[in-house]
Chains A and B, each alone.
Chain A
Amino acid sequence: GAGVSQSPSNKVTEKGKDVELRCDPISGHTALYWYRQRLGQGLEFLIYFQGNSAPDKSGLPSDRFSAERTGESVSTLTIQRTQQEDSAVYLCASSLGTARNNEQFFGPGTRLTVL
């Protein structure tokens, strides 16, 4: 594929349920990022994967949030026991290497609504 893809594009869930969001980065991109964008706000960094290094999880807002990445491909962001404040657009980005020298390409996002 030409760009970063994310699925589902929209997810509506009930409070307390778990959700999984998927990101397919651009092939060959070693770095992958997850961000959260609440309505009317900028993006908040959540987590960063780079190759085989330990991920930078410093942006995860609580232990209900976790993410995994299989090698240098697909990543899933899991939110357990969802709360209404988790409602947001979750954006994934990938880059060839570290952000310092490489542009981050963003996917279209997954809009999560927690009822």
Chain B
Amino acid sequence: GEDVEQSLFLSVREGDSSVINCTYTDSSSTYLYWYKQEPGAGLQLLTYIFSNMDMKQDQRLTVLLNKKDKHLSLRIADTQTGDSAIYFCADLTGGGNKLTFGTGTQLKVEL
């Protein structure tokens, strides 16, 4: 089945850029997503990218997709303490009806 992998932990200083990486195995993925999960809160969709795109920018967020290597990244510019959360990448599989999630990357922003 589809497998989505992420590193478990990332620590950055406030004001620096954060880069969270993700790899996936399903070559037929059409959409890839980044979700944010804060303690005690539900999942929040941050951004998504269609598989025929290489890059998408949305304010402080930049998504890069390398379809050949099946590698997705999320860059957060000028990281703030409010960005501390778990970030999940996910891709759309199963004929376009279900999301396969990575294990999540815990981002810690230090002052």
A→B interface (CB under 8 Å): 3-4, 33, 35, 40-45, 48, 50, 56, 58-59, 91, 93, 98-100, 103-109
Task: Identify whether the interface residues of A are mostly helix, strand, loop, or mixed.
Answer: loop
Tell me the complex Cα distance, A58–B92, Å: 15
9 examples of A-B residue contacts, CB within 8 angstroms? A35-B99, A43-B101, A45-B98, A48-B98, A50-B97, A99-B92, A99-B98, A99-B99, A100-B30
Q: Are A58 and B94 in contact (CB under 8 A)?
A: yes
Q: Which residues on the A side are within 8 Å of B99 (C-beta)?
A: 33, 35, 43, 45, 99, 104
How many whole Å from B5's CB to the nearest CB in chain A?
Answer: 10
Q: Which residues on the B side are within 8 Å of A100 (C-beta)?
A: 30-31, 92, 96-97
Q: Which residues on the A side are within 8 Å of B48 (C-beta)?
A: 103
Instruction: For A106, give its contact among B30, B43, B96, B98 (CB under 8 Å).
Output: B43
Instruction: For A42, give its contact among B42, B88, B92 (CB under 8 Å).
Output: B88
How many whole Å from A24's CB to the nearest CB in chain B?
Answer: 13
Of A43, A44, A50, A105, most B-chain CB atoms within 10 Å: A43
B41's closest neighbor in chain A, by CB?
Answer: A108
Contact flags (1/0) for B22-41 with A, using CB distance below 8 Å? 00000000110000000011
Q: Are A59 and B97 in contact (CB under 8 A)?
A: no
Q: Which residues on the A side are within 8 Å of B96 (C-beta)?
A: 98-100
Question: Contacts A58-B94, A99-B92, A99-B98 known; A42 to B45 CB distance under 8 Å?
Answer: no
